[in-house]
């Protein structure tokens, strides 16, 4: 069995670690690129949201590399994600690809049986725990990166170190090696010449999880904010998502997601699908410790559209820039909006009494199909 999955940011490191101990071979799709998007747009319904199009393109690229099985999360849900896999499967079959699709709608037992076929549980379980340790590290590494990126003298040095660290992280086979990777990474980041941190502003990123976590989809927003001297805060991560299934986190109501749910409760009486509830909660929760927030919303995404409209009405004040993404969004437009937003935050910081309440609805940054 040659298994693959649609790619999302740097999480291929985690997935590779899981498959290390499985009998099936893993086909890692190429990083998301303009080609991935073009393929996805070509074969998707026009009204589908951006994550649908990109993941479809990524599946096509995996099938081209010889994958015969695709894992795609999805089962039911109050947003379109619940039926993504059904539609994507039909589109791929119409295109002539022969493969099997694995997802939760098959039932957890059948799904597990398909993935673990021929693997030994005694090897897989320690492997799974080790892959979770890699996932946790993938969540931790960016935090220092965000801090240094905002004050580095040579733009791009911190990003280079981060990207160079992914290879040893992928190759690490023991906990000792993982600790070593982290130590080396922090040492290298610590040696970067930096400027004074005066004038650094803290901006949180929230919104729909795929667009938040896939740099191509969000046009490398973290890097662009770093160039503007912004220290990014991004509570959403795959580790954060997975930790929500930890019984201790559930029992004690811990975790960012649950904190957000509690914070957003005065404004929401029911789940609005996707990550909408969390988006509202992040604003309420971080109104005091962030200087601003960028809200990433795929065009036509109902949960985030609802969240955007509620966010502008909360009593907790925090400037929010809404950016709406689809395949027509141009990077130049996104950068201009970010520049104006950061400039506004800095002015507000200097004159805190002046026009504190602000919610900049970004609209769609129409432009060329290319993201450069």
Q: Closest CB to ligand SF4 among 274 and 330? A: 274
The tokens describing 200, both together, are 């650094």
Contacts 24+ apart (CB under 8 A), 331-334: 331/219, 331/367, 331/371, 331/372, 332/365, 332/367, 333/365, 333/366, 333/367, 334/219, 334/221, 334/224, 334/365
Distance of alpha carbon 196 from alpha carbon 156, whole angstroms: 17
Residue 209 CB, shortest distance to ligand SF4, in Å, is: 7
Q: Locate tokens 């015969």: which residue?
A: 68
Q: Closest CB to ligand SF4 among 88 and 348? A: 88
Residue 70 CB, shortest distance to ligand SF4, in Å, is: 17
- The residue of the chain with the least Cβ separation from ligand SF4 equals 274
CB atoms within 10 A of CB 271: 13
Q: What are 206's strand-pairing partners?
A: 295
Residue 336 CB, shortest distance to ligand SF4, in Å, is: 24
The tokens describing 53, both together, are 């199009």
What is the helix (H) or strand (E) element at residue 89, kind and residue range? helix 81-94
| 3-state secondary structure (DSSP) of residue 125 | helix
Residue 48 CB, shortest distance to ligand SF4, in Å, is: 8
DSSP-assigned letters across all residues of 132-190: HHHHHHHHHHHHHHHHHHTTBSSTTHHHHHHHHHHHHHHH--SHHHHHHHHHHHHHHHH
Residue 303 CB, shortest distance to ligand SF4, in Å, is: 5
Q: Which residues bind ligand SF4 (CB under 6 A)?
A: 49, 51, 79-81, 208, 274, 298, 301-304
Vertex 26 angle, CA 25 and 32, to 5°: 160
Q: Closest CB to ligand SF4 among 81 and 216? A: 81
Q: Closest CB to ligand SF4 among 26 and 294? A: 294
Distance of alpha carbon 248 from alpha carbon 254, whole angstroms: 8
Residue 93 CB, shortest distance to ligand SF4, in Å, is: 21
Q: Closest CB to ligand SF4 among 85 and 286? A: 85
Q: Closest CB to ligand SF4 among 43 and 116? A: 43
Residue 212 CB, shortest distance to ligand SF4, in Å, is: 10
Q: Closest CB to ligand SF4 among 235 and 274? A: 274
Q: Closest CB to ligand SF4 among 79 and 264? A: 79
DSSP state of 34: H
Q: Closest CB to ligand SF4 among 47 and 193? A: 47
Q: Give φ, ψ of 243 to 5 degrees.
A: -60, -20
Residue 218 CB, shortest distance to ligand SF4, in Å, is: 12
Residue 47 CB, shortest distance to ligand SF4, in Å, is: 11
The b-or-e profile of 191-204 (16+ CB within 10 A means b, else e) is: ebebeeeeeebbbb
Could you tell me if 46 and 99 are in contact, meaning their C-beta atoms sit under 8 angstroms apart?
no
């Amino acid at each position: 069995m040659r298994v693959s999955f649609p790619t999302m940011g740097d999480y291929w490191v985690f997935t590779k670690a899981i498959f290390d101990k499985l009998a099936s071979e893993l086909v890692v799709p190429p990083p998301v690129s303009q080609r991935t998007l073009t393929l996805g747009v070509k074969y998707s319904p026009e009204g589908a949201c951006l994550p649908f199009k990109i993941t479809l393109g990524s599946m096509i690229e995996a099938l081209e590399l010889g994958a015969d099985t695709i894992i795609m999360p999805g089962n039911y849900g109050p947003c379109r994600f619940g039926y993504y896999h059904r539609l994507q499967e039909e589109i791929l079959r119409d295109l002539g690809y022969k493969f099997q699709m694995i997802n939760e709608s098959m039932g957890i037992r059948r799904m597990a049986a398909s993935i673990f076929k021929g693997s030994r549980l005694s090897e897989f379980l320690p492997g799974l725990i080790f892959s979770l340790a890699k996932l946790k590290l993938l969540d931790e590494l960016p935090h220092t990166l965000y801090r240094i990126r905002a004050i580095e003298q040579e733009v791009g040095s911190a990003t280079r170190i981060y990207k160079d660290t992914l290879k040893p992280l992928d190759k690490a086979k023991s906990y000792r090696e993982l600790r070593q990777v982290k130590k080396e990474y922090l040492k290298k980041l610590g040696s970067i010449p930096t400027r004074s941190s005066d004038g650094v502003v803290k901006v949180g990123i929230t919104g729909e999880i795929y667009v938040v976590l896939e740099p191509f989809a969000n046009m490398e927003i973290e890097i662009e904010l770093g160039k503007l001297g912004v220290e990014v805060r991004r509570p959403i991560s795959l580790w954060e998502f997975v930790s929500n299934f930890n019984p201790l986190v559930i029992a004690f109501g811990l975790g960012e997601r649950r904190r957000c749910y509690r914070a957003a409760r005065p404004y929401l009486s029911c789940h609005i699908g996707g990550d909408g509830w969390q988006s509202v909660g992040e604003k309420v929760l971080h109104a005091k410790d962030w200087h601003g927030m960028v809200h990433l919303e795929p065009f036509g995404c109902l949960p985030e559209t609802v969240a955007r409209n509620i966010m502008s009405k909360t009593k907790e004040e925090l400037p929010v820039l809404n950016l709406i993404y689809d395949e027509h969004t141009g990077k130049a437009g996104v950068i201009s909006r970010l520049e104006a937003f950061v400039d506004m935050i800095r002015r507000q910081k200097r004159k805190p009494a002046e026009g504190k309440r602000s919610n900049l609805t970004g609209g769609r940054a129409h432009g060329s199909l290319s993201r450069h």
